[in-house]
Structure 1
Amino acid sequence: MTSRQTPKKRDEGEGIESFAPALRRYFSKRAPAADVEDFVQEVFVRMQSRRSEIGIENLQGYLFTVAANVLKGARSSPHILPSNGEDSGEYSDGLTPERIVIARFDAARLVEAIENLSPRTREIFVAHRFEDMTYGAIASLYGISVSAVEKHIMAALRSLSATIGRGE
């Protein structure tokens, strides 16, 4: 065997985490800073759920197509990200007794789903999502790599998505 080897074709599931910085840059130019990490994780969750369904020839192109769809979905939902910077002038809080009951039910299901995560994944997820800790801070706290933190967050999001019926 020579010292020069041909590179292996990249598997669609291999190393998608390596695109995280590029995805963060993509979203940071198009969305509020507070939503960037959530959008990046949503891309990873969608990629994970579709990995076995399709063969991806252009992983980077597909990732950014998914990212564009995540952003498009966020813009179409008025509670996540407005589609433009202007206020429509109309006020509608949309809170009806029915919506309140549904929201409480959904919140209870979400709490139950979080409680059903493995202890380590739950601790990492809560630290990031509810205590606003960065991946780096969590990695230092638990003595693990940032990549391991990302994997715990992805696992939590997949589990929560499946539990609350949001899976796509």
Structure 2
Amino acid sequence: MHHGVQQQLHHLYSHHHGWLNAWLRKKLSCQHTAADLAQDTFLRVIISDRRPLPEQARAYLTQIAKGLMIDLYRRQRLELAYHEWLLHLSPVEVPSPEQQAVALQSLIQLDKVLDQLPAKVRETFILSRFEQLTYSQIAKRQGISVGAVRKYMLKATQACLEML
């Protein structure tokens, strides 16, 4: 990182970190989570190798922070759903804490992969894998051909395999 970029980042951080942290605290009602997301926002700026113009700095930081908040809420919803599912298991079926951590991390990764797929592909995959509908049932429900269902399933499966 050359000196000019370091100066830009230092200026961005020193002039906007306090504001961003306060904005996130108001949105999240938790100073620790706000501090973490503020740091993650600036980390994303560094990694992205993009620098906003000074007059666009707050809008740029807000956009990144909102994306991180959405990721946080999605993760929390997934964790809650997973823990609720665990409550329905008998004591002998409950996985070990290590297995739970691995399963939850896998669910979070799968959620990210599915979120990047086109809506029809994602919905087709969910109907097949989680609602156990047949390809012809999915085709009828989606108003598409069985061939399209096969194509969408292949695309979704390939995306999941790439995740692994």
Q: TM-score range by the shorter chain?
A: 0.3 to 0.5
Greater relative contact order (Cα 8 A, min sep 6): structure 1 or 2?
Answer: 1
- Considering fraction of residues, name the structure with more helix: 2
What TM-score, normalized by structure 2, do the two folds share? 0.40
TM-score by length of 1: 0.39
- Bigger Rg, structure 1 or 2: 2
